[in-house]
């Protein structure tokens, strides 16, 4: 059984609609796929409706959190999407993301880049506008050679000239909300490195004590030594090792299924959840 537990669609910052993600997942030989768009469950109905035969769909979401000034991503699975407080908080994050994106575009305009709000919303194609879309707009204007170069102090990297912070949840708060909604919380890519914070063992231990169910081990941005360390840590803390491709369509070179989790991890995460069930047709 091949299980990819981390994917994105154009409902957040991926490039392909949920139906296409489901189709491509099947074509990639997957049996189970979780859709984990940033701060939204809006892609779930389409994913379920267009589920290819034989494929199991797991409803998920990747919640934007912040700890000590660092961005932290918390994956949530199998929660009740109608849970009022969780729905309110994810909506607040989404709304604030727009305010923040507008502010960053205005700073970029002041910096003479020529990037406009119209151009950025076009890049988002109806999805939640985020920094990846602004990065693509900057590249399209020829300000930078490729989108990844936007995430620096020069432009929209944290602390950058056009960077604006935004609303996010404390990870412990996110975990409590996810659990209250009957879901399971999994810490996303804690050792992705590069621009992101390498979350220390002690912090993961604290989150485990707050009710965290799992931690991503199998992620494209984790090298083999981090995977080994995280597997040990998960074992020590009683966390379920999890992961997935974190595919964003063309942005990540269509890599659905490049990372999978074990059936045992899958079963353990399902066992701990009560807010929703995997969907299979
Ligand atoms: Zn993430
Ligand atoms: Zn992700």
Average pLDDT over residues 39-48: 97
Quick one: pLDDT at residue 55?
Answer: 97
- Confidence check: pLDDT of 281 > 90: no
Q: How far does residue 243's CA lie from ligand 1's centre (Å)?
A: 11
Expressed in angstroms and rounded, the spacing between residue 7 Cα and the centre of ligand 1 is 10
- Average pLDDT, integer, range 64-85: 95
Distance 21 CA to ligand 1 centre (A): 17
What pLDDT is stored for residue 130 in this prediction?
86
CA of 182 to the centre of ligand 2 (A): 21
Q: Which ligand is nearest to the CA of 189?
A: 1
Residue pLDDT, tens place only, 103-154: 999 999 999 999 999 999 998 887 778 899 999 999 999 999 999 999 999 9
The string of DSSP codes covering the chain is --EEEEE--TTTT-SS-HHHHHHHHHHTT-SEEEE--BT--TTHHHHHHTPPTT-EEEEEEEEEEEETTEEEEEEEES--TT-HHHHHHHHHHHHHHHHHHHHHHHHHHHTT----HHHHHHHHTTS---HHHHHHHHHHTTSSSSGGGGSSTTTTSTT-TT------B-HHHHHHHHHHTT-EEEE--TT--TTS----HHHHHHHHHTT--EEEEE-TT--HHHHHHHHHHHHHHTPEEEE---B-GGGGTS-TTSS-B-HHHHHHHHHT--S---EE-
Threshold 0.85, pTM exceeds: yes
CA of 62 to the centre of ligand 2 (A): 6
Is the pLDDT at 97 greater than 90, yes or no?
Answer: no
């Amino acid at each position: 059984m091949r299980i990819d537990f981390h994917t994105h669609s154009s409902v957040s910052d991926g490039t392909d609609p949920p139906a296409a993600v489901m189709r491509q997942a099947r074509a990639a030989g997957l049996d189970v796929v979780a859709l984990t768009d940033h701060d939204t469950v809006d892609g779930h109905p389409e994913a379920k409706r267009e589920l290819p035969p034989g494929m199991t769909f797991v409803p998920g979401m990747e919640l934007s959190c912040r700890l000590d000034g660092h961005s932290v991503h918390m994956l949530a699975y199998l929660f009740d999407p109608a849970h009022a407080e969780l729905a309110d908080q994810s909506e607040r994050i989404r709304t604030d993301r727009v305010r923040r994106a507008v502010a960053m575009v205005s700073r970029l305009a002041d910096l003479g880049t020529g990037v406009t709000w119209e151009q950025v919303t076009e890049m988002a194609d109806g999805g939640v506008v985020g920094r990846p879309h602004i990065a693509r707009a900057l590249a399209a204007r020829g300000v930078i050679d490729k989108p990844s170069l936007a995430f620096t102090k020069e432009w929209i990297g944290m602390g950058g000239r056009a960077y604006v912070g935004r609303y996010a949840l404390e990870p412990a708060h996110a975990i409590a909300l996810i659990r209250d909604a009957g879901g399971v919380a999994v810490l996303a890519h804690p050792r992705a490195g590069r621009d992101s914070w390498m979350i220390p063992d002690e912090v993961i231990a604290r989150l485990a004590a707050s009710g965290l169910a799992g931690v991503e081990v199998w992620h494209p941005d984790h090298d083999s030594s981090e995977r080994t360390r995280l597997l040990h840590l998960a074992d020590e803390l009683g966390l379920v090792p999890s992961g997935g491709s974190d595919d964003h369509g063309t942005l990540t070179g269509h890599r659905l299924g490049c990372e999978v989790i074990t059936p045992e991890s899958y079963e353990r995460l399902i066992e701990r959840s009560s807010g929703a069930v995997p969907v299979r047709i």
